[in-house]
Amino acid sequence: MNDSIPTQLRFPASAGFTVRAQFDGGALSSDFGAILLRGTDLQTGLISRLAGAIHDKRHPSYISHSMTDLLRQRVFQSACGYADGNDANALRADPMFKLAAGRAPLDADTDLASGPTLSRLENNLTRRDIYRLAKSFVHAFIDSYAQAPALIVLDMDHFEDPTHGQQELAFYNHHYRHHCYMPLFLFEGLSGKLITAILRPGKRPTGRENAAIIARVVRALRQAWPDTHIILRGDGHFSNPELMALCEQDPAMDFIFGLAGNKVLLPLAQPLLERAKSHYQSRCESARHLGLPAPGATRLYDDLSYQAGTWPKAYRVVLKAEVMALGENPRFVVSSLNEPTAELLYRELYCARGQDENYIKAIKNDRASDRTSDHTFLANHMRMFYACAAYVLIHSLRENTLAHTELARAQPGTIILKLFKLAVRVVQYKDRIRLSLPTGCPVKGILERVTELLYQTQRPPAPA
């Protein structure tokens, strides 16, 4: 097709008018959110911190895009819903992304990087770069607090990242029955803040590997917050002696881990299960006599002292004896906490880790952290970090700027849809830039609040 001939779109007639459309609107963008992300980045200094963690081996004479510009472009595009590096080929001239990167939006010589340039960035990283980037997320998490918190809950969880080619270190995992990566995500369980993330091969992690990663994170946290109480929380595959020993070394650290039933624990749980079963059957009989529907599950809680052969000592194990229409469902949790009651420890403290899976979904589904289709492992690690950085910026925007608004507890996808995906016309004058939003914008009040707060609270980027 000849590009000189304007493309015309045809639509059914409406209200007695013929309807046609052409791509001749000029400097328009559908991503107003890029400028909001810039304000949040200036507030947090995240991108400058991440850029400082990468050793730039390029010759200064041949650099058109600084490391900060490259990361800012890629992370902002990811946060606005463009997960693929190839999207940069179409968006490099987008006026809002150029403005968000600190460039004149309508000058032809200020276009952003292309997809191949971003691909070279990903494929030139070293293991040390990746390590420093992971560490930078930890320090960004620490700096997000004005003062040391009294308590943080370090939620740990892996999720399956399917692979579909010849990616390095993509192993077959029999549990998921396909080749995959198994990245580890660390969140603060009370606030939902990302602490850091590690892309891992697809095999099940060992206790030694988990402990090595957590020890490095805790070491950085302890340097900043020596007196903060840290609770490690995770599901059953974190209940290993190495992590327990790590907690034993720190008097201000405890753990709550899921625990699989075994030939020792299941017989010990049988008396409580029998009580729960008797109680459930009694409730069913009462419901039948009254003509009511079958009752819900009956749950009883108790605790006991138990030491597996590999554990450093005996720990408190909380048992949940659940009986329902489908049968018995005993569950176990091991913890170094002694004060909470068995029911409180299980229902309020352990079960709250389910929220961690929602945080992972926000990174995986809304930010496409599983778009790890590069051949090399380190490049895929960097792609996951783009999604992590986008999550951190959106979480900071929601927690600090959208507080007391209807989007204060919204999912990232909702914020993108309602706040970022707004049409805007960009007009560049000699000394100023004017952005024209739709007159009937449904989030006008929120934008007035958000932009004013970001304008008042911006600060220079934090040092790397």
pLDDT of residue 464: 44
Task: Give me the tens of pLDDT residue by residue for the chain, a chain 464 residues long.
Answer: 455 566 788 888 888 888 888 877 778 899 999 999 999 999 999 999 999 999 998 888 888 899 999 999 999 999 999 989 899 999 999 999 999 999 999 988 899 999 999 999 999 999 999 999 999 999 999 999 999 999 999 999 998 999 988 899 999 998 888 899 999 999 999 999 999 999 999 998 999 999 999 999 999 999 999 999 999 999 988 999 999 999 999 999 999 999 998 899 999 999 999 999 999 889 888 888 888 887 888 999 999 999 998 888 999 999 999 998 888 889 999 999 998 999 999 999 999 998 888 899 899 888 888 899 899 999 999 999 999 999 999 999 999 999 989 999 888 889 999 999 999 999 999 889 999 999 888 999 999 999 998 888 765 544 44
What is the C-alpha separation between 377 and 227, in angstroms, rounded? 37
Phi, psi of 142 (to 5 degrees): -60, -45
Using left for φ > 0, alpha for ψ between -120 and 50, and beta otherwise, residue 16 falls in left
Task: Give the domain ranges of the chain.
Answer: 8-125+408-457, 127-258+355-379, 265-329
Q: Which two tokens stand for residue 347?
A: 């229902």
pLDDT of residue 62: 86
What is the C-alpha separation between 131 and 257, in angstroms, rounded? 27
pLDDT of residue 419: 93
pLDDT of residue 1: 47
Does domain 127-258+355-379 fall under CATH 3.30.870? My reply is no
What is the C-alpha separation between 461 and 41, in angstroms, rounded? 8
Phi, psi of 163 (to 5 degrees): -115, 155
Sign of the C-alpha dihedral, residues 162, 134, 244, 353? negative
Instruction: Read off the pTM.
Output: 0.91
Q: For the chain, first and last CA: distance in Å?
A: 49
pLDDT of residue 211: 95
- Give the three-state DSSP class for 145: coil
Burial 253-268 (b: 16+ CB within 10 A, else e): bbbbbbbeeeeebeeb
pLDDT of residue 459: 58
pLDDT of residue 2: 53
pLDDT of residue 209: 94
pLDDT of residue 463: 47
What is the C-alpha separation between 203 and 185, in angstroms, rounded? 16
